[in-house]
Amino acid sequence: MLQDKFSLKKVWSRQIIWPLFLKFSYLGVLLIGLIDVLIYFGAVKNNLGISPLCLATIIGAIHLIIRLKFKQSLSESFAKINLGFIVPVLGILPAFLFLFEEYGPLYPNYFFTNFGFHYLGIFPLAIIVALFGFIHVDFAWLKRQAPVVYFYSCLAIMFAALMTYYIEPELYKNYTSEDGLVENLTAISYFVAAILAILLSRQPKYWAKSLWLQRVFQGLFILAGAALMLVGAEEISWGQRIIGFETPESIAIINRQSEVNIHNSDIVWPYVYLAYLLIGIYGMSLWLVRWSLRDILPKKDYCNRFINLITPSGYLFFNFAMISLYVWLREHHGPWKYQGWEELSEIFLAIGIVIHLGQQLRQKRLLS
């Protein structure tokens, strides 16, 4: 009898308590996030002392524990809809609303004038939806759909960042200023990319059959690693602002920012943006060339590995397109109008390089 009651209680908690808790806690976090959209951005934190995103992180951690320990999660369709539909819509919606408000047929628009709508509150909402989607998604499905999820996530992040740039310029500036979060993450990304390039230089037999070609590949990977390490160090001016040492006068005279770096020197600086443009065009378009020529390209293993190595995947399109767009705007509208986009485009580029090299290393380890 006691065993029957225990089994009944276990079934009852599995079929009723956990599903209800998971659903209502998720909906509760969403409703709290909507307060920042409908009242004003920051209303929740100012009144409750915690932001919707922080609250969602705590609740999300509880959801993850329940999934791992008690094998209870929300449905697969819930996760797929969250990641495949709701997150991209919430990422793009603020840009649409901004354009509709500023350039719509009725300006000033009656709805926005009388009721208000706070775009910045939508961005944390998108992150919240994505967080719970990733917690409850089937990992096999996520692995299969990772490129698609990443592609649309990049698009949503771009819109979110650019909307912040126009609506809350001070907030945007805090993240993208010198020694800000974005610049430091960019430098770290280049350091990670350098490590990945060095790791790719190991076991050169994967890349070529002949000994001399193996040595060529090995040398090129080591050279690429050194170059990426140099770019990362340049990004933070070799730690000058972190350590706090003075710029030698001989360098300050020829440097546009009076800092210890090469890329801002009068000799190199004119070519930096040309290099950015070429890298951006290369990364955003070469996958299309590979696709066009796929039927006539060699089918041998070594050729395929080399082609994959030199061709970033199509889902990395925005990582390279952003830097190309920035350079084009810079050249056609002057260097200062879109200067705030520079750090954003640079971190997109750095992350794209990291993902591409990481993808090559993973493939190498699977086949070695």
- Pick the most confident of 9-18, 113-122, 127-136, 265-274: 127-136
pLDDT above 70 (res 314): yes
Of 27-31, 126-130, 137-141, 159-163, where does mean pLDDT reach its minimum? 159-163
Q: How confident is the model at residue 339 (pLDDT cuts 50, 70, 90)?
A: confident
Mean pLDDT of the chain: 83
> Which tens digits make up the pLDDT trace of 93-112?
877 777 776 666 655 555 55
CA-based nearest residue to 252, from 261, 263, 239: 261
Percentage of the chain lying above the pLDDT 90 cut: 36
Q: Summarize the confidence of residues 15-25 as an average pLDDT.
A: 86
Report whether pLDDT(13) > 60.
no
Lowest mean pLDDT among 60-74, 130-144, 149-163: 149-163
* pLDDT tops 80 at residue 267: no
C-alpha separations of 329 from 158, 182, 183, 277 in Å: 16, 21, 21, 11
Is 221 in contact with 198 (CB distance < 8 Å)?
Answer: yes
**Angle, to 10 degrees, between the axis of helix 122-136 and the axis of helix 18-38?**
160
Secondary structure of 211-268 as H, E, C letters:
HHHHHHHHHHHHHHHHHHHHHHHHHCHHHHHHHCCCCCHHHHHHECCCCCCCCCECCC
| Residue range 277-306: mean pLDDT, rounded | 90
Residue 261: pLDDT band with limits 50, 70, 90 = low
Contact of 29 with 56, CB cutoff 8 Å: yes
pLDDT class for 300, splitting at 50, 70, 90?
A: confident
When computed from its CA atoms, the radius of gyration of the chain, rounded to whole angstroms, is 25
Domain boundaries, the chain: 16-167, 178-235+268-367
Mean pLDDT of 65-74: 89
Q: Hey, what are 132's tokens? A: 């719970």
How far is residue 262's CA from residue 271's CA, in Å, rounded to a whole number? 11
Over the stretch 202-236, which tens digit does the pLDDT of each residue have?
A: 988 999 889 999 999 999 999 999 999 999 988 87
Q: Copy the structure tokens of residue 25.
A: 């806690």
The better pLDDT of the pair 259, 316 is held by: 316
> What pLDDT score was predicted for residue 212?
92
Q: 108 by DSSP, 3-state: which?
A: coil
Lowest-pLDDT range of 93-97, 137-141, 317-321: 93-97
Could you tell me the pLDDT band of residue 2, with boundaries at 50, 70 and 90?
A: very low
Please check the confidence at residue 176 and state whether its pLDDT lies above 60.
yes
Q: Give dist(CA 135, CA 138) in Å, integer.
A: 9
pTM of the predicted model, to two decimals?
A: 0.75
- pLDDT, residue 105, reads 60
Find out whether 155 and 108 touch, Cβ atoms under 8 Å.
no
Whether 162 has a pLDDT exceeding 60, the answer reads yes
Q: Is 319 exposed, middle or buried (0-12, 13-18, 19+ CB in 10 A)?
A: buried
Average pLDDT over residues 270-288: 91
pLDDT at 115 over 60: no
pLDDT classification of 57: cutoffs 50, 70, 90: very high
pLDDT given for residue 66 in this prediction? 92
